[in-house]
């Protein structure tokens, strides 16, 4: 009896005013482009088998890659321009 009463209340409240389909809001919409999350498994330095799962947005991965490339380029430029004789 209680199940029938509960079912009728749920049906009545659903039919009373709520629309059948809800429009997605900003909070529930799926992220697109650079806001998407991408996870990678990165090796731990000094370990042959251990890996760490790291999740970042696409934009963060791009900034990290560009920063590492800039650092490597600066390091190569520094070693090329340094004199071989000493300080």
pLDDT tens digits for range 42-73: 999 999 999 999 999 999 999 999 999 999 99
Convert the pLDDT of each residue in 31-44 to its tens digit. Answer: 788 899 999 999 99
Distance CA 41, CA 49 (A): 11
DSSP label at residue 56: E
How high is the mean pLDDT of the chain?
A: 78
Distance CA 34, CA 58 (A): 5
- Looking up tokens 């409240």 gives 13
Kindly list the domain boundaries of the chain, sorted by start residue.
35-81
pTM for this one?
Answer: 0.55
Q: Any bridge partners for residue 54, and if so which?
A: 40
Contacts of residue 52, defined as CB under 8 A and 6 or more positions apart, other chains included, come to: 41, 42, 44
């Amino acid at each position: 009896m209680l199940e029938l009463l509960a079912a009728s209340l749920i049906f009545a409240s659903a039919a009373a005013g709520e629309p059948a389909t809800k429009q997605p809001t900003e909070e529930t919409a799926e992220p697109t482009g650079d806001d998407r999350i991408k996870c990678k498994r990165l090796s731990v330095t000094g370990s042959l088998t251990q890996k760490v799962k790291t999740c970042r947005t696409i934009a963060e991965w791009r900034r990290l890659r560009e920063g590492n490339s800039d650092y490597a380029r600066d390091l190569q430029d520094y070693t090329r321009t340094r004199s071989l004789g000493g300080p």
